Structure 1
Amino acid sequence: MRKLYVIGIGAGDPDQVTVQAVKAMRRVEAFFVIGKGEAAQELIDVRTAILAEHMDRPYRIVPIADPPRDRRPADYAGVVADWHARRSALLESAFAEVDGVGGILVWGDPALYDSTLRMIERVLARGEVTFDYEVIPGVTSAQALAARHRVVLHDIGESVHITTGRRLREEGLATPNALVMLDGDCAFTAISGDDVHIWWGAYLGMPDETLIEGPLPAVRDEIVRRRAELRARKGWIMDSYLLRRGG
């Protein structure tokens, strides 16, 4: 493989794929797709639909099975590091089998809570395979969430803190505006205060997109219930939310 394109494809809406992303996809001969099991087959289906709509040349799919990991580890950093090492090894093997131009379609943007670039650097650092790579930015779930709720992520002159559910639970709402991702345990339920507002969204840009917003004390239980229903029905969930104190 002489070149790899790492292409951000947005939060789920096929129309959010940029012209730059389409041009990059049309240079690719083999797309590497990391699967997450039957429960998340829809994630692969969306990628497949995007390729079917935009590709104007023959290409092939190189499937890669995502190695399992503990989702509630005591040593989070250690478990994730081991998972990344195993993922990198699988990518390296797949890269070695491709002659030409490869591509990886990344949900959202490769620079925000995605480890694809870290794994690529691991592969290159080993020196067994060499190639050039280029990163194509995509629409993030943060942008999609704000657009769907028709809200600005921060008030005038304020900052917005992008964090994870794990960090929110540990640190609390330390800034006026917090955009929370990767929250598997509804960390917003630990936030107190009648002056906190939440804008929540799941499956942004997809057919099952679900939006809830309002004062956190008033909609907290509704979000928890709805999230559990969606996850039970689909087998997976991707959601994010904005918290604002005084909102």
Structure 2
Amino acid sequence: MSLEVALYIVPTPIGNLADITHRALQVLEQVSLICCEDTRHSGKLFSHFGITTRTMSVHDHNERQRAGTIINKLQAGEAIALVSDAGTPLISDPGYHLVSQVRDAGFTVVPLPGPCAATTALCASGLPSDRFTFEGFLPAKAKGRTDVLQALVQEPRTMIFYESPRRVLDSLASVAEVMGAERKVVLAREITKSFETIKGLPVGELIEWLKEDDNRTRGEMVMMIAPFRADGETIPADALRTTELLCQELPLKKASALAAQIHGVKKNALYKHGLEQGW
């Protein structure tokens, strides 16, 4: 495989090293330089696969400054890769400013598919996956968490967050306070690793389950919150969208009845949600 001059966005495993793709290895071997969030961390991965390509640190605190150096190398005809510590770069990781500047300079940015904790956890969660919103990390302070969650109380899509083991109980407590103890939350920890665990419960019960064993709060976390419920029932996102579109031409009551027939859901649930949304 011959590489064109470009910045390659290369996902790396989130746990299981076997999850790296053949194409990712080819790119990492053939580029002139690999930009790493942490060169020491990525060095272990490269050593495992025998990759000896030169590396350079590019992280939150220096990516704006390093962008100029990288663009100069692209202008000199070098192909460059960007990796984060784990998963797909730029997803709650550095890289946005670099990619933006590289594109503005007229160079191609080539994204490779690969591991991402958010989508990996979602597909095993049992929560609606036709529409979802990725919200990154919740704020560390209680007031900030509360403000973010209050804005999402009636979110009709599954909500995905990353969370650290030291804050997960505080974050779940904020979810229970703002959204109610009965709101379902699925917690995925150590995805693709030996102690992978995916547990879904009403958030009040999930908090108690975590407190039963300290090991359950260890490792990297993906926290997924079920969509807003109306009349105790999760409304499919496509039914909500149909109702919203019909409301552009019909009264809410009629739109709800038609959408309920189309999607096989309760019209009262759609009607109540429409009222709350101001449709």
CA contact (8 A) 1:169 1:190 kept: no
CA contact (8 A) 1:32 1:63 kept: yes
What is the CA–CA distance in structure 1 between the aligned matches of 2:133 and 2:7, rounded to whole Å? 32
Shift in alpha-carbon separation, 1:117–1:31, aligned structure 2, 3 A: same
User: Displacement, 1:2?
Assistant: 3.9
The aligned counterpart of 2:131 is 159
Shift in alpha-carbon separation, 1:214–1:66, aligned structure 2, 3 A: same
CA contact (8 A) 1:10 1:141 kept: no
What is the CA–CA distance in structure 2 between the aligned matches of 1:63 and 1:114, rounded to whole Å? 13
User: Displacement, 1:217?
Assistant: 0.9
Shift in alpha-carbon separation, 1:26–1:131, aligned structure 2, 3 A: same
The answer to whether 1:121 aligns with 2:91 is no
2:83 to 87, 99, 105: 105
Describe how 1:179-218 pairs up with structure 2 within 5 A.
179-183=159-163, 186=171, 187-206=174-193, 209=196, 211-218=198-205
CA contact (8 A) 2:162 2:222 kept: yes
Letter in 1 for 2:6: K
The aligned counterpart of 1:60 is 54
User: Displacement, 1:171?
Assistant: 1.3
Shift in alpha-carbon separation, 1:112–1:20, aligned structure 2, 3 A: same
1:5 to 4, 8, 11: 8
Partner SS state of residue 162, structure 1: strand
Shift in alpha-carbon separation, 1:59–1:197, aligned structure 2, 3 A: same
What is the CA–CA distance in structure 2 between the aligned matches of 1:133 and 1:159, rounded to whole Å? 27
What is the CA–CA distance in structure 1 between the aligned matches of 2:125 and 2:175, rounded to whole Å? 19
The aligned counterpart of 2:18 is 15
The aligned counterpart of 1:51 is 46
CA contact (8 A) 2:67 2:101 kept: no
Q: Which blocks of at least 5 consecutive residues in structure 1 are unaligned?
A: 36-40, 68-85, 231-236
The aligned counterpart of 1:145 is 121
Letter in 1 for 2:30: R
Letter in 2 for 1:19: H
User: Displacement, 1:176?
Assistant: 5.1
Identity score, percent: 12
The aligned counterpart of 1:30 is 33
CA contact (8 A) 1:199 1:242 kept: yes
Q: Which blocks of at least 5 consecutive residues in structure 2 are unaligned?
A: 139-144, 235-279
Higher relative contact order, structure no. (Cα contacts within 8 Å, ≥ 6 residues apart): 1
Shift in alpha-carbon separation, 1:97–1:20, aligned structure 2, 3 A: closer
Partner SS state of residue 8, structure 1: coil
Q: Number of residue pairs matched?
A: 207
Compute the RMSD of aligned alpha carbons.
3.8
Q: Tell which structure's C-alpha radius of gyration is larger.
A: 2
CA contact (8 A) 2:188 2:223 kept: yes
Q: Which contiguous aligned blocks of 4+ residues in structure 1 show a shift greater than 6 angstroms?
A: none
CA contact (8 A) 2:83 2:89 kept: no
What is the CA–CA distance in structure 2 between the aligned matches of 1:208 and 1:91, rounded to whole Å? 38
Letter in 2 for 1:162: F
